[in-house]
Amino acid sequence: MQRVKAERTYRLSDEFFYNVIKVYGNMAGRIKAAIDTLFDMPSFGCRPSVRTFNFVLNLLVCAQLFDVVHEVYVGAPKLGIAIDACCLNILIKGLCKSGNMDAAFYVLDEFPKQKCMPNVRTYSTLMRGLCENGRVEEAIKLLDRMESEGIDADTITFNVLISGLRKQGRVEEGVNLLNGMKRKGCEPDAGSYHEVLYTLLDAKKIVEAKELMSRMILVGASPSFVSYKKLIHGLCEEKLPGDVDWALKQMVKQGFVPKMGMWKQILWSTVSRNDTASCIVFDTIIGNYAGGT
C-alpha cells in the first residue's frame, strides 16, 4: 500500500479499503492499523463511505475501546462523512456497554440534530442497557415512547424486556408481555419462550412451566436441554410422575439423552425413602446402567 501511494499508478476503491480494514481489525487484531488506514484513505485519493466508517466504530465498540470511539467519531467531518442513524446507534451501543446511560440518551437527542430518525434498533439497545443496570421500569417506558413515535417493536425488543423482567423475578409481567406480542403484530421466537420458561422455573411455577413448554412444542419452538432438565427436576419435587413421563418422552423425541443424575432423581422421586428393599433395587439398576450393563 505504501508503494501504491508513492507510485500513484492505481486507484483504490472504498471496497478495497473496507476489506483491508476488516483484515486488520477482525483477523490480525491490529485495531490501530485499521484506524490509521481509515484516516489515510484520502491520501490514496479515496474518500471512505459511511459503511467503512461505521465498521471501524463498531470494531472499537466490540473491542471495548470506548474512549477511542469518540475520537474517531469527531473525525467524521474531516473524512467527509455524513453521520447516519447506524453511526449513532453504534455510539449508543458503546455508551450502554460502558454503563454511561446518560450519555447514551444524550445521543438519542442528537438524532434530529443530525437529520436522522431513531429506529427499533436504537430503542432496543437503550432498553438492553437499562435492563442490565436494573432500570427495567425505564426500559418499559421506552417501549411506550417508541410506539408513540410510530416505531414498531420487534422480537428483539420484547426479548430484551422479558429478560430484564426475568432478572427481577417478575413472572406475571413476563408472561403478559409474551402473550401481548402477537397482539402487537410481533411473533415470539424460541428466545422469547425460553426467557419466560426460565422465569417460571426459577419461581418454582412448575405446572405453568410445563404448560408453556407444551405450547412451545406446538408452535415449533424447541425447548433446550437445560429447560427439560430444570422442568423434570421441578416435576420430581412436586411428585408428578405422569408429567415427568411426558417430559422425558418429549426430550427423547427432540434428540436429547437424559443424563445419569436425571435418571437417579426420577427413580428416587417414585419410591418411598423408607422402602429399603426398593432403594437397594433402584441403586443396583442405576449402578448397572452407569456401568453399561
Going from N- to C-terminal start, the domains of the chain cover: 189-288
Does position 9 have pLDDT exceeding 80, yes or no?
no
Question: How crowded is residue 39: how many other Cβ atoms within 10 Å of its Cβ?
Answer: 14
Which amino acid is present at 240?
L
Residue whose cell numbers read 427481577 = 168
Give tens-digit pLDDT for 167-224. 998 999 999 999 888 888 888 998 999 999 999 998 999 999 999 999 999 988 888 9
Does position 149 have pLDDT exceeding 80, yes or no?
yes
Helix (H) or strand (E) holding 134: none
pTM of this prediction?
Answer: 0.81
Residue 285, pLDDT score: 47
- Rounded CA-CA distance 19/184 in Å is 40
Residues in the chain: 293
Does position 151 have pLDDT exceeding 70, yes or no?
yes
Give tens-digit pLDDT for 60-87. 998 888 889 988 998 999 999 998 999 9
Residue 49, pLDDT score: 94
Contact assessment for residue 32 and residue 24, using Cβ atoms and an 8 Å cutoff: no
Does position 293 have pLDDT exceeding 50, yes or no?
no
Residue whose cell numbers read 427436576 = 233
- Rounded CA-CA distance 236/79 in Å is 64
Residue 290, pLDDT score: 47
Residue 292, pLDDT score: 46
Decide: helix, strand or coil at residue 148.
Answer: helix
Contact assessment for residue 95 and residue 58, using Cβ atoms and an 8 Å cutoff: no
Nearest alpha carbon to residue 231 among 215, 257, 254, 212: 212
Helix (H) or strand (E) holding 83: none
Counting beta carbons within 10 angstroms of the beta carbon of residue 12, is it exposed (0 to 12), middle (13 to 18) or buried (19 or more)? middle
Percent of the chain with pLDDT over 70: 91
162-to-65, 131, 191, 196, 200 alpha-carbon distances in Å:
29, 10, 10, 7, 12
